[in-house]
Amino acid sequence: MLASPAYDIALLADKGRRDTQEDAIAARVFDAAKAGYVVIADGMGGHEAGEIASGLVIANWQAVLDDLLEDGAGSGAAMLDALPLAAMQANAAVAGHAQAQPQGFNMGSTLLGVLMLGPRLFWISIGDSPLYLFREGRLTQINEDHSMAPVIDAQARDGQISAEEARTHPNRNQLTSVIMGGAIPKVDCPEAPLDLRRGDIVIAASDGLQYLGDADIRTILQAQGENLAQDIADALLRELNRVGDPDQDNVSIAVIKPANI
């Protein structure tokens, strides 16, 4: 008897208005174990740098997680240890590749890795790729934003700068943590999981999705929430294309809906 799908997951990636695609995205579901993952990496460094960095992050994540999940070790503490292990291996791989290049070669990548074990959702996040939970009509970003945006927004709340100055601040997208082969200043990897409920929608994305405001994303999820994950992902991309920002970054989107957990 075939196991029923544990999760409805859809992935998409779009180049936006950029010349190259430096994002990478992957997912895998292990239905028999009711487990799965999504991983997104947003590379930096341009052609043959950013796209290689994001590819190295994805490959090292898969090498660690696939082995454990295929071996049936997905319910123990080994899976939680696997998240920082995957990040460390990815960081070492980026360091090794960069060191083999000419002096001055720079590359890096964010990492957003989401692990589902039955109804439990764990994540590791390095960088500014957002992880959203849509529950009962409310949209919340549940991971940390490792960019200057939270600092600048706090300055606006304190009255140091205006809301418009915060929104257009030139340092807003400057990262405060990233995988570049050296020390990683900040890692968001909570030990306690998020307990998924039927009806939840989880969105993992690169920061290209944030060319839409939270209100726009929430409106789409309210309208599309009963539909398949692929319909939701397509609707988000259609709205990005409708907005048509001339600076639209690469965007990768994963939509996760609990199905049989």
pLDDT digits (tens, 9 = 90+) for 7-27: 999 999 999 999 999 999 999
User: CA–CA separation, 229 vs 203, rounded Å?
Assistant: 10
User: CA–CA separation, 211 vs 88, rounded Å?
Assistant: 30
Residue whose C-alpha is closest to residue 113's, from 28, 237, 192: 28
Query: Where is average pLDDT lowest: 56-60, 109-113, 133-137, 152-156?
Result: 152-156
Contact 201, 226 (CB under 8 A): no
User: Taking 50 as the threshold, does the pLDDT of residue 257 lie above it?
Assistant: yes
User: Taking 90 as the threshold, does the pLDDT of residue 80 lie above it?
Assistant: no
Query: Where is average pLDDT lowest: 34-38, 135-139, 239-243, 254-258?
Result: 34-38
Composition of the chain by helix, strand, coil, percent to 5: 35, 25, 40
**Interaxial angle between packed helices 50-70 and 77-99, expressed in degrees from 0 to 180 and rounded to the nearest 10:** 150
Q: What is the pLDDT of residue 104?
A: 73
Q: What is the pLDDT of residue 1?
A: 39
Q: What is the pLDDT of residue 163?
A: 85
Domains in the chain, CATH or no CATH each = 7-140+178-258 (3.60.40.10)
- Look up the pTM and report it: 0.93
> For residue 251, is it left (φ>0), alpha (ψ between -120 and 50) or beta?
beta
User: Taking 60 as the threshold, does the pLDDT of residue 73 lie above it?
Assistant: no
Contact 107, 98 (CB under 8 A): yes
Question: Percentage of the chain with pLDDT > 70?
Answer: 96
User: Taking 90 as the threshold, does the pLDDT of residue 3 lie above it?
Assistant: no
Q: What is the pLDDT of residue 179?
A: 97
* Residue 254 β-bridge partners: 11, 204
Residue whose C-alpha is closest to residue 37's, from 6, 76, 78: 6
- Amino acid identity at 252: S
- Alpha-carbon dihedral sign for residues 191, 7, 257, 83: positive
Structure confidence by residue, pLDDT tens digits, 109-118 = 999 999 999 9
Query: Where is average pLDDT lowest: 154-158, 183-187, 247-251?
Result: 154-158
Q: What is the pLDDT of residue 190?
A: 95
User: CA–CA separation, 228 vs 104, rounded Å?
Assistant: 46
What is the distance in angstroms between the CA of the first residue and the CA of the last residue of the chain?
17
User: CA–CA separation, 65 vs 90, rounded Å?
Assistant: 12
Q: What is the pLDDT of residue 237?
A: 98
> For residue 161, is it left (φ>0), alpha (ψ between -120 and 50) or beta?
beta
Q: What is the pLDDT of residue 222?
A: 97
Q: How is residue 179 annotated by DSSP?
A: B
